[in-house]
Structure 1
Amino acid sequence: MTVFEKLLELQKSKNTRLCVGLDPRVEQLPKPFKKNLKDLQKFLETVIEITHPFACAYKINFAFFEQFGYKGMRIIENIKKIIPKEIVTISDAKRSDIGSTAQAYAKSVYSYFDFDSITLNPYLGIDSLLPFFEYEGRLNFVLICTSNPGSADFQKIKLGKKFFFEIVLEKLTSSFPSETLGLVVGATNPSEFRIVRQKCPQNFILTPGIGAQGGNLDEILRINQNLPLVVNVSRDIIFASSGEDFEKQIYNKAKYYSEQLRITK
């Protein structure tokens, strides 16, 4: 079974498009956790235990772990082991590079860590992405139109009648099959989301930017209808409370977003 099929099947069985983002910040750990790496792992284990009934995917943001060196990478290994096997795991690493370097990145994520998916940066060109697509059955989410304010600096430059991100999109879709090519489009860009969705009705879109970043979930769902979509929520779930009621609040937020992201209402 491909990751594309795995994600579709799980979304149907759980009736949700929710991806829980694990973007941990030691300084934001709720009571009674201490501000150290040991308790960071305990906190993430608790988050997974609470949220996994509501999630079809987890997106692990590598940067928040890499900042702690090998100890942070060890936490990735440890928490990935406790994520239920049927749930899709996404390495939010935004990788790409030339030749053997890209091969090494791909081997790290897909062979060593054994993630189902990864986020990729297309700026270096198609050859920088090829090593990731050589891993059969995986789902590679390529950045198209991101949720940060500076995304317009390059992605929305007009080249003739098209935005730069549209040209990137056309090159990607002519190079890779829809079952292995996912697309990252932020919820803060509903107009651009519409363009991508119209051009790529068969591809999975990974949509961040809900919650803390202020994306419009209702508008995204209205545009998307029932086409392949997975919506990431990070801080609004995992840091739902800084107090001792954090478990209850995480549960409530995960349940809320899971219901908002139902495929069939």
Structure 2
Amino acid sequence: MTSRSQLPSVLLVGCGKMGSAMFEGWLKHGLKPSVVLERHQSITLPAPHKQAETVADIAPDFTPDVIILAVKPQMADDVLPELAQRFPSATLLSVMAGRTIDSLARHYQQTSSKVTPTIIRAMPNTPCAIGAGVTGLYAPPQATDTQKNECDSLLRSVGETVWVESEELINAVTAVSGSGPAYAFLLAELMEKAGIAEGLAPETARKLARRTVYGAGALLNDSDLESAELRTRVTSPGGTTAAALNVLMAPDAWPTAVPKAIAAAVKRAEELST
């Protein structure tokens, strides 16, 4: 885990669900004085961190180590030229789904060809808020080791990181892990409803479903065994688990639905890039 003295200062642009999840995690690890640029809501921040509603509101002496782009992809174009005028040679870390480095660079350099940002892409997920996130990152060839290390340190402080070799693979990261917590939440939701339908009290079904998903995830994370092997160890031939898996693993069930879901998420990320 990153030590308290290592987290760089940031300008967090957008403090929605993902932005706030990351910032909550960073605050626990000694984030250097930073600014949250958020014009749509008032945010309570501990000193010395500050909120700004516009780029013009940012203190003249503040220069962040990294600018985090965490607004909705379609909203980024409005703020990029303003950021470029103030921080022409910034390190940008984009956590926006679909937006390519070329697209962001074009809008950042809209006011001047002398603007020279370095843009790194990342896709974290919301468990970052409790230090259990996982983030995929991609850096273009011109990114320095210092820039990559600064971005990596921020995201390692709230979970694990993996680097991918091409920008296109960020779409797959988005589909698997960026959107992935929603898939696990849906599983818990459906298990809870099914338990109630089978006669369990709602609070009992809720606790059983949530703790089962949590415990299975923790066991999977801590084990060196393949997930298929862990599944097999729970499944006695002819038992209750086998009966359930016969339904879930039918050709038209999870083996078809999960790849289709991942592919749909990848396709949507590709659409956002255009």
- TM-score between the two structures when normalised by the length of structure 1: 0.34
Larger Rg: 2
**More relative contact order, 1 or 2 (CA 8 Å, 6+ apart):** 1
- TM-score between the two structures when normalised by the length of structure 2: 0.33
Greater strand share, structure number? 1
